[in-house]
């Protein structure tokens, strides 16, 4: 029981504004295909838990559960056309995630790099910043709006544009390993890496364009297991979760 006059000290987030990178496959549950309502509801609650702490949140979502420009399904297609199809898939995922968040009571905006006014606002940097300042979660869809760029690069670019303190990359493994932990039981997980380690050793954190952009703008990347309840909250509170990639 708290004594009279005793103050309660609540944990404060170490990041005021973050960009969360979510893969499309993660919305498809175990199969990684389509959109699973249970996965959406879980993600919405996890995101709400950090929104309730006052963290300003932007999300870049992939589209691999529906279509990926470099996938086998796209074989034989012109790369630009396949990439545009992948961008449209991210819009579908963004709308699904928006609905789940709003069901959970979180005010949300979808902003698209490809203009489609009937379903999303056009991406405008100042407007995106204003939304997060007002406490809305902004879901950034359609990548950069250009073919030949991944959603990793889109995440790095948007993080720089909106002034995010960190990129939080949600995965289904605990962090970055020296080999695939789902195939190699002896895979070693790194607790910390520098950007040059990722480029030199070709570690699959994000693509090299995204890594370089984060390095040049000193934005750390934290790779963590989003499937463990509470991990997202632990990351924003500064607990040692996953792998942190940063400068020297």
Report the alpha-carbon distance of residue 242 to residue 124 in Å, rounded. Answer: 32
At residue 240, the pLDDT reads: 93
Q: Using the predicted structure, report yes or no on whether residue 74 has a pLDDT greater than 80.
A: no
- pLDDT tens digit sequence for 189-229: 999 999 999 999 888 899 999 999 999 999 999 999 999 99
Nearest to 159 by CA among 212, 214, 110: 214
Q: Check whether 4 has a pLDDT greater than 60.
A: no
Select from 57, 144, 242, 130 the least CA-distant residue to 43.
57
Which CA distances in Å does 168 have to 41, 186, 219? 19, 25, 10
pLDDT beyond 80 at 58: yes
Domains of the chain: 17-246 (3.40.1160.10)
Alpha carbons within 13 A on the beta-carbon side of 119 = 19
Instruction: Give pLDDT, residue 18.
Output: 98
Residues of the chain with pLDDT > 70: what percent? 95
pLDDT band at 234 (very low <50, low <70, confident <90, very high): very high
pLDDT of residue 215: 96
Angle at 166 between CA 204 and CA 61, to 5 degrees: 60
């Amino acid at each position: 029981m708290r004594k009279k006059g005793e103050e309660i000290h609540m944990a404060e987030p170490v990041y005021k504004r973050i960009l969360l990178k979510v893969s499309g496959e993660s919305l498809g549950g175990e199969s990684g295909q389509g959109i699973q309502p249970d996965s959406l509801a879980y993600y919405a609650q996890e995101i709400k838990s950090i929104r309730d702490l006052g963290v300003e949140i932007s999300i870049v979502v992939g589209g691999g559960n529906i279509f990926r420009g470099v996938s086998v399904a796209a074989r034989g297609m012109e790369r630009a056309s396949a990439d545009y199809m992948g961008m449209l898939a991210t819009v579908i995922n963004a709308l699904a995630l928006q609905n789940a968040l709003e069901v959970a009571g979180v005010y949300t905006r979808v902003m698209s790099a490809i203009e489609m006014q009937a379903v999303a606002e056009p991406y405008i940097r100042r407007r995106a910043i204003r939304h997060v300042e007002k406490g809305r979660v902004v879901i950034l869809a359609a990548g950069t709006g250009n073919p030949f760029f991944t959603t990793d690069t889109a995440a790095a670019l948007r993080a720089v544009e909106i002034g995010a303190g960190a990129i939080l990359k949600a995965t289904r493994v605990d962090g970055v390993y020296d080999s695939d932990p789902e195939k190699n039981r002896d895979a070693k997980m790194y607790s910390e890496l520098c950007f040059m380690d990722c480029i030199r050793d070709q570690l699959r954190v994000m693509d090299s364009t995204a890594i370089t952009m984060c390095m040049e703008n000193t934005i750390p990347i934290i790779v963590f297991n989003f499937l463990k309840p509470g991990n997202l909250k632990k990351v924003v509170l500064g607990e040692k979760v996953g792998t942190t990639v940063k400068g020297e």
